Structure 1
Amino acid sequence: MIALTLDEIARAAGGVLVTRGVASPDLVIDGAVHTDSRDVRAGDVFVAKPGEFTDGHLFAPTALEQGAALLIVERELDLEVPQIVVDDAVVALGEFAREVVARVRAGGRLRIVGVTGSNGKTTTKNLLRAVLERVGPTIAPRASFNNEVGAPLTMLELTHETEFLVAEMGASGVGEIARLVRLARPDVGIVLKVGLAHAGEFGGIEQTVRAKTEMVTDLLETDVAVLNADDPRVVPMQAETAARVVWFGLGHDADVRAVDIRAHARGTDFVLELRSGERREVHFQVLGEHHVMNALATTAAALELGVGLADIVSALESVTLAERWRMQLLGGRDDITVINDAYNASPDSMSAALKTLAQIKRPGSRTIAVLGEMSELGELSGEEHDRIGLLIVRLGISQLVVVGEGARRLHITAINEGSWDGESAYVESADEAFDLVKDSIGAGDTILVKSSNSAGLRHLGDRLGEWFA
């Protein structure tokens, strides 16, 4: 974090400074900012955020023991450490981040890239970091720090030397992306895709479109909106922004596009083609043809930020994993491959992962899909699980293992398709799935483990990967 006095932080956060007699208002703080007391180190700031299941104020003593120099709290605590008392710790965190962004931006070096979309945000964020850090100091979120808490925490990592901030902006409702954009308005705003992920929380696909559009509505004429030319829900966003639009996609109308795409078990090769006619062969090591679109969005944004095409391609080719638990290749014994893609799941990402599984099948071997629930789909849940069940059969996946009551409809639909006899199995737990899979796998087989985060199958994927290592 940039160096600020206690008084400056209090004014930024909109709170009242209580020094407790242990510091003066002009004490300078330049440590990191945390909402998890376990991460606090000497000189850091701890924000005592009330949570769904517990209260951050309960962990303030631990933060102090670990060296916290300042607490941001919603009530004064009986602890001998400076405290800033605010009405709402999450709102205060955002306002604190807004001030830090404004001060760093005033230095003239900082450029901000915002990324949103129903799928691909984290992968694109990581690709952008790999590209941009080659040309200047870059800050990007850890894990999926993309909400009203995680995004400000990332912004607060800025220093006066930072040249690029990659801000992943997620949402579960209308207005949330707009709120994040107001904290750090992007110079380049990316909308990857609008799909059914979290549609239940949004209240339908129309509300999802409205929410994702917030990424570009406040952009200025001097800014750039990077939009998916292949998504009919994204294309109309060009009418909602004053920014110059740059298109990415697979069609001829895209400014940045991919042709001659060739998927294989260790990634995807494609030819990157610009509207100028410039072309480059890309050997992209991130598994899954669907990640090519994330690479195109990254390329379009990086070009607008002045990064050379050679540097972009080199960086893209250096990335081997989108993120842990996202199309992560494990296993290896007897040529058995485990693909752990169980960090999250939507109908779009589930379809893409299953198609990848079918594409990379080795001749004479089997494909096994171990699937859990796709959560947060609301009233669309039933029909979308049905659609995935039908897709599995039509792709010719050798074995389906469905885990948990929330995904049971996948199993029923696959059986009802009528073309299988015993190729679909239903189990209640990850332990049952592990026993079933480990005892039935043969040399050369490929296993996909995929579910929403709430289903917890990412740990099953790790376990299978270790078993077949």
Structure 2
Amino acid sequence: MIRMTLAEVAAAVAGTLHPAPHDTPDTVVDGNVDTDSREIRVGDIFVAKPGEVTDGHNFVAGAVASGAVLAIVEQRVEAPVSQIVVAEAVAALSDLARTVVAAVRDRGRLKIIGITGSNGKTTTKNMLARILEGEGETVAPRGSFNNEVGAPLTMLRVGEDTRFLVSEFGASGPGEIARLAGLVTPDVGVVLMVGLAHAGGFGGVEATLKAKTELVQAVRPGGVAVLNRDDARVATMADVAASRGVDVRWFGRGSAADVRAEDVEVTAAGTTCTIVAPEGRWPLRLRVLGEHHVMNALAALTAARELGVALDAAIARLETLEIAERWRMQPMGSERVRIINDAYNASPDSMAAALRTLAQIAGPGERKVAVLGAMSELGELAGEEHDRVGLLAVRLRIERIVVVGRDARRLYLAAIGEGSWDGEAVFFETSDDAFEYLRGELRDGDRVLVKSSNSAGLRHLGDRLGESFS
């Protein structure tokens, strides 16, 4: 965080300052801000956030022992540290982030990029951050820090010399993206796709469209909206951008895109294509597995181009990215048995993309094995969407379909109904049972996809398989 006095922090969060005996309102703080006491280091600021399971106020003393010099709290606690009492800790976190980012923007060359979409946010964020790091100090979220706590925590890592802030905006309901993006009014807003991820929370895909449009509405006038030309719903956001004085740049596979991909080929080593833009053509060799990541790369390249990065330099940096993120199309195991652990998030779109990737990368004589768990937050669409995944797995000629968890049972039944009834599809209640089966079933030449939503916990099964067959 930038240097601020205790009085300035208190004013930013509309709180009441209670300095420790060794501090005054003019005492300066500039450490990291966190809500996790385990992450606190000397000079940091701890925000005591109440939670459903535990209360951050119980950990103030531990944070102080680790070196915290300020605690933002909802009620004073017994601890030898300066405290600022606020009405709501999470709201204070946002208020402080807004103040810090605005101050840095006013003083320097800070450019802010916001990214949203039903799938691909974290991968695109990592791709764009890799590109921009070559231009100057870049702040981007750790993992999927994209909610009402994670997004402000990322913003608060901005310092005086930061050139780029890449913010990832997720949401489980209407209005959340508007609130988060409104903290920083991005210079560039990237919308990847509108699909069924979290559709249950939004109330359907049209409500999801409205929610994702909130990012375009938050882009500052004179800024740029980077939109997916191949997604009909995202394309409708161009009118919203125009009404706000925001320029539009398109990415996609079709000829109408400003930055597009041609000649896409997928192999077990990654994905190759040709990037085409008005200024030229360049080969791109992505190490990240999956044809669907080409669209994420196009989004990152288009955004970088709008920020003044030459496409040839951007492509060279992008080619150094080995994996999108842990548990996202992460290669594990060995050449003998290759495990692809993609079990951090799942939606109908990302399930389909991952299964198609499995079908594409398996060579002659290599067996395709899909280990699948439930997709969460689909609401009333959950049943039919699990059915669709089961049907697709059979139609892609996946030789072994291993379904794990009661919430995914309809996927298994759909595969059986489609004709995968002679041992090709199996069902297990627990990951432990599935692991024991797979440990005995997998053989040389198998290519194994592990895919589910985070809540299904299959990412840990993927890790166990990766270690077992390394």
**Per the shorter chain, which TM-score range?**
over 0.9
- For 2:86, give the aligned amino acid: V
CA RMSD, 1 decimal: 0.9
Counterpart AA for 2:444: A
SS at the partner of 1:294? helix
Deviation of 1:108 (Å): 2.9
TM-superposition CA deviations, 1:221-271 (whole Å, max 9, x none): 410000000111101011112210000000111111000000000110000
Aligned-partner SS, 1:173: coil
- Equivalent residue for 1:126? 126
1:272 counterpart residue number: 275
* Alignment equivalent of 1:332, drawn from 310, 331, 334: 334
CA contact (8 A) 2:186 2:218 kept: no
User: Is it true that 1:253 corresponds to 2:253 in the alignment?
Assistant: no
Answer yes or no: is the 8 Å Cα contact 1:368–1:400 preserved in 2: yes
Q: Which digits, 9 at most, give the CA deviation of each residue in 1:187-211, with x for residues without a partner?
A: 0000001110011111211111111
Q: Deviations over 1:377-430 (max 9, x none)?
A: 000000000000000010000000000000000100100112541100000111
For the Cα contact (< 8 Å) 2:186–2:220, is it kept in 1? no
The 10-residue stretch of structure 1 (51-60 or 114-123) with the greater mean CA deviation from structure 2? 51-60
Q: Is the 8 A contact 1:22 1:80 kept in 2?
A: no
Alignment of 1:128-277 (within 5 A): 128-241=128-241, 242=244, 243-274=246-277, 276=278
Please list the CA deviations of residues 421-460 of structure 1 after superposition, one character each: whole Å capped at 9, or x if unmatched: 1100000111111111111111111010000000111011
Q: Which amino acid aligns with 1:438?
A: R
Whole-angstrom distance in 1 between the partners of 2:441 and 2:169: 41
The one-letter amino acid paired with 2:329 is M
Q: Aligned partners of 2:118 and 2:38: how far apart in 1?
A: 31
Aligned-residue offset at 1:52? 1.8
1:116 is the counterpart of 2:116: yes
1:417 and 2:421 correspond: no
Aligned to 1:25: 25
Q: Is the 8 A contact 1:114 1:190 kept in 2?
A: yes
1:362 Cα shift?
A: 1.7
Once the two structures are superposed, the pairs formed by residues 442-453 of structure 1 within 5 Å of their partners are 442-453=443-454
Q: Distance in 2 between matches of 1:12 and 1:302?
A: 32
- For residues 340 and 140 of structure 1, the distance between their equivalents in structure 2, rounded to whole angstroms, comes to 23
Q: CA deviation at 1:219?
A: 2.3
Which segments of 5 or more consecutive residues in structure 1 lack a partner in the other structure?
A: none
Residue of structure 2 aligned with 1:288, choices 271, 287, 290: 290
2:386 maps to: 385
Partners of 2:219 and 2:8 in 1: CA distance: 28
Q: How does 1:351-430 map to 2 (within 5 A)?
A: 351-430=352-431
3-state SS of paired residue (1:287): coil
Q: Which amino acid aligns with 1:237?
A: M
Counterpart in the other structure of 1:309: 311
SS in 1 for 2:233: coil
Letter in 2 for 1:289: E
Paired residues in the alignment total 467
For residues 52 and 419 of structure 1, the distance between their equivalents in structure 2, rounded to whole angstroms, comes to 43
* Alignment partners' CA distance in 2, 1:311 and 1:162: 20
User: Shift of the alpha carbon at 1:310?
Assistant: 1.5
1:277 Cα offset (Å): 5.2
Deviations 1:131-176 (A, max 9, x none): 0000111000001110110010001001110000000111111111
Counterpart contact for 2:137–2:163, Cα < 8 Å? yes
Whole-Å separation in 2 of the counterparts to 1:445 and 1:418 = 22
Which SS does the other structure have where 1:381 is aligned? helix
Q: For the structure 1 residues 153 and 419, does the alpha-carbon distance in structure 2 shift closer, same or farther, using more than 3 Å as the test?
A: closer
Counterparts of 2:279 and 2:155 in 1: how far apart (Å)?
A: 37
Deviation string, structure 1 residues 64-101 (Cα, Å, up to 9, x no partner): 11111000000011212110000000000000000000
Query: Partners in 2 of 1:418 and 1:319 — Cα distance?
Result: 40
SS of 1:109's partner is: coil
Q: Is the 8 A contact 2:122 2:324 kept in 1?
A: yes
For residues 7 and 420 of structure 2, the distance between their equivalents in structure 1, rounded to whole angstroms, comes to 70
Mapped partners of 2:420, 2:458: distance in 1: 27
* Farther off after superposition, 315-324 or 198-207: 198-207
Counterpart-to-counterpart distance in 1, 2:21 and 2:291: 60
Matched, 1:319 2:284: no
Which amino acid in the other structure matches residue 400 of structure 1?
A: I
Equivalent residue for 1:56? 56
Q: Separation in 2 of the partners of 1:175 and 1:317?
A: 36
Gaps spanning 5+ residues in structure 2: where?
none
Alignment match, 1:68: 68
2:444 is paired with a residue whose SS is coil
Taking structure 1 as the reference length, what is the TM-score of the superposition? 0.98
Q: What does residue 78 of structure 2 align with?
A: 78
* Stretch deviating more after TM superposition (17-26 or 183-192): 17-26
- Tell me the TM-score normalized by structure 2: 0.98
Matched residue SS, 1:234: helix
8 Å CA contact retained: 1:392, 1:414:
yes
Q: For 1:199 and 1:317, locate their aligned partners in 2 and report how far apart those are by CA, in whole Å.
A: 33
Q: Secondary structure at the match of 1:329?
A: strand
CA distance in 2, matches of 1:20, 1:247: 53
Q: Distance in 2 between matches of 1:10 and 1:153?
A: 17
Tell me the distance in 1 between the aligned counterparts of 2:181 and 2:365: 51
- Does the alignment pair 1:350 with 2:323? no
